[in-house]
């Protein structure tokens, strides 16, 4: 597969926006599950791509999108990632690059261009870096290309309290500021861990319906998927409980079936 110039990819194309594609797929599939295609470490990375595609094929009917972290982004090249993303696209699903971009504007831009050239529909960013000279250029380019930007608001691990849960002198918490930034920057979504349903509920009230809440942390990290949806999550990001199951398809179906009425 030939390498595509990241600067030219999608430059003149009109495409369906990330949020519209995700919502459309969720409606048609009746699923609110985003698969975290985060495979465990292996010494022989030559089988990573085929393993990822096999899991994707097995679980596709039960999910509405796919998220990839450094588990695949670090060891695989652009062409291999694009091959996986082409497969995801064949199911009319979006893919999210979970790299938590957190740098100056030029670095963020270049990183995004490579990720877009690899076929990703959206990128997760860290709002700590700020707007001017940080995320401003990336947000402008993403809107021009119909690409999605999702920001961290409150991560799912326990240590997130040390950053996102910090209280400022005015009584606000850092996560509340990040939710306000998501509205001000007109982002597509925010990440709030399913391990914190009370934060999900607060985020839903603060954000309104337009900005989507994506919640990782169900299963392996102890979050309750039903409670997360009831609190206001739009989508659940689920990885290890499916990926590391002896039968990923059966586990994806079990989880899908359990959430149909939610």
pLDDT of residue 146: 92
pLDDT of residue 203: 97
Per-residue pLDDT tens for 96-148?
999 999 999 999 999 999 999 999 999 999 999 999 999 999 999 999 999 99
Checking 8-14 for CB contacts under 8 A at 24+ apart, the result is 9/113, 9/116, 9/117, 10/116, 10/145, 10/146, 10/147, 11/145, 14/146
pLDDT in tens, 21-37: 999 999 999 999 999 99
Minimal CA–CA distance to 97: which of 36, 15, 43? 36
> For the residues of 10-45, what is the DSSP string, one character each?
TTT-----HHHHHHHHHHHHT--EEEE--PPP-S-G
Strand partners of residue 235 = 214
Whole-number pLDDT of residue 219: 74
Domains of the chain are: 18-259 (3.20.20.70)
Residue 144 sits at φ, ψ, to 5 deg, of -65, -30
Catalytic residues: 100
Q: Is the separation of the CB atoms in 15 and 146 below 8 Å? A: yes
Instruction: Give me the helices (H) in the chain, please.
Output: 18-29, 48-59, 70-73, 78-90, 105-117, 136-145, 174-184, 197-207, 225-231, 240-243, 248-259
Q: What is the mean pLDDT of residues 228-240?
A: 96
Question: Mean pLDDT in the chain?
Answer: 91
């Amino acid at each position: 597969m030939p390498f595509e110039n990241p600067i030219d990819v999608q430059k003149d194309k009109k495409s369906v926006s990330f949020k519209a594609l995700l919502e459309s797929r969720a409606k048609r599939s009746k699923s609110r599950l985003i698969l975290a295609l985060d495979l465990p470490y292996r010494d022989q990375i030559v089988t990573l791509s085929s393993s990822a595609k096999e899991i994707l094929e097995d679980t596709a009917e039960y999910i509405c999108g796919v998220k990839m972290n450094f588990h695949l982004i670090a060891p695989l090249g652009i062409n291999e990632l694009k091959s996986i993303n082409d497969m995801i696209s064949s199911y009319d699903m979006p893919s999210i690059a979970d790299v938590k971009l957190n740098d100056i504007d030029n670095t963020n831009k270049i990183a995004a261009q490579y990720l877009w050239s690899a076929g990703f529909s959206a990128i997760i960013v860290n709002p700590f870096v700020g707007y001017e000279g940080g995320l401003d250029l990336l947000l402008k380019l993403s809107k021009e290309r119909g690409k999605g930007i999702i920001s961290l608001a409150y991560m799912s691990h326990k240590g997130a309290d040390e950053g996102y849960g910090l209280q400022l002198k005015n009584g606000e918490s850092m996560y509340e500021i990040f939710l306000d930034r998501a509205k001000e920057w007109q982002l597509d979504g925010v990440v709030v861990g399913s391990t914190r349903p009370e934060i999900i509920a607060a985020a839903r009230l603060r954000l309104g319906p337009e900005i989507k809440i994506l919640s990782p942390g169900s299963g392996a990290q102890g979050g309750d998927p039903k409670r997360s949806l009831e609190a206001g999550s739009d989508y659940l990001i689920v990885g290890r409980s499916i990926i590391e199951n002896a039968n990923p398809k059966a586990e994806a179906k079990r989880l899908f079936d359990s959430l149909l009425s939610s």
